[in-house]
Amino acid sequence: MLTKLIGYEMKAFGRIILPLYAATIGMAIIMGVGIRVLDERLFSTLLGAVIIMIFVSLIIATMVMTGLLCVQRFYRNLLGNEGYLMFSLPAGTHQLILAKVLSSLIWALLGGLAGICTVLVMGLAAAPMQDTIRFFKEISIHLRMLSLGKEMGAVAVWFVILILVFVSALMHIYTAIAVGHQWTAHRVLGSVLAFFGIGIIRNTIGSLVGQIGYRSGWADFFLERFDGNLLLSWQFQVPVIVSTLLLIAVYSAVTWYFLDRRLNLE
């Protein structure tokens, strides 16, 4: 059921996002070829300025659209008229929510991948073949060195943290929408207010926990072992991961409660 739901989300997102990817990569090729032919002179021509403007607009449009769709697919598809279809499927509410979260995450990651592809494609189009081959050789050497070092592990951990932070931010919005939907009128306003309300509650609890941590002394456990390297120390990473996971769990529970036990579609 979940895979079917996600598959459907892929189509709904893809029909809007994929053309944007294609256009962006297309512009990247045009820019690359321009650079190859005209070098830096490209940027001083009017045509070059236009190309860059379109290119940058496309990148911004793709990012904004991805973010917008992540929210809109939840708001419109579940709580608008299409909700009559989605909530009539033989799927649990948790599956409907999870499908939205996972598909948003997939599209965020695909967006990153598309960004890398855009840069690569532009490079390929801009540089002569020998340069490209040399470039890839160097990259692979660097990658091999990285994978041997402990930096690779840190990168992986930070990647996980990035994903968790994305999911928790997304779930924050979903929770706000689910709570805002309890109002009979002004549901959008309700969602916006709920968004800030939830933020305030979260920060308050966060600082409370921090204070308790300091006063009771258990925060010292982490602080004493802190070696000064913020980005690589587990003393920093573990609390971040645990607190974000907790936050996601609370958001999920609240969203599920309002969409399952208190659902009232307009």
Q: Which residues bind another protein (CB under 8 A)?
A: 1, 4, 8, 12, 15, 77, 81-85, 87-92, 95, 184, 261-265
Question: Cα–Cα distance between 50 and 35 in angstroms, integer?
Answer: 14
Q: Are 57 and 88 a contacting pair, CB within 8 Å?
A: no
Q: Which is nearer to another protein, 89 or 143 (CB)?
A: 89
Q: How far is the CB of 81 from another protein (least distance, A)?
A: 5
Q: Which is nearer to another protein, 7 or 112 (CB)?
A: 7
Q: How far is the CB of 4 from another protein (least distance, A)?
A: 5
Q: Are 171 and 252 a contacting pair, CB within 8 Å?
A: yes
Q: How far is the CB of 96 from another protein (least distance, A)?
A: 10
Q: Exposed (0-12), middle (13-18) or buried (19+): which is 12, by Cβ within 10 Å?
A: middle
Q: Which is nearer to another protein, 150 or 261 (CB)?
A: 261
Question: Cα–Cα distance between 173 and 255 in angstroms, integer?
Answer: 10
Q: How far is the CB of 13 from another protein (least distance, A)?
A: 12
Give the list of residues 6+ apart from residue 173 with CB closer than 8 angstroms, or none. 71, 74, 195
Q: Which is nearer to another protein, 90 or 228 (CB)?
A: 90
From residue 255, alpha-carbon distances to 22, 190, 243, 246 in Å are: 35, 15, 18, 14
Question: Cα–Cα distance between 122 and 126 in angstroms, integer?
Answer: 6
Q: Which is nearer to another protein, 95 or 237 (CB)?
A: 95
Q: Are 109 and 162 a contacting pair, CB within 8 Å?
A: no
Q: Which is nearer to another protein, 225 or 262 (CB)?
A: 262
Q: Which is nearer to another protein, 220 or 266 (CB)?
A: 266
Q: How far is the CB of 89 from another protein (least distance, A)?
A: 5
Q: Are 29 and 119 a contacting pair, CB within 8 Å?
A: no
Q: How far is the CB of 74 from another protein (least distance, A)?
A: 14
Q: How far is the CB of 190 from another protein (least distance, A)?
A: 14
Integer-rounded Cα Rg, in Å, for the chain is 23
Residue with tokens 């840069």: 119
Question: Cα–Cα distance between 30 and 179 in angstroms, integer?
Answer: 47
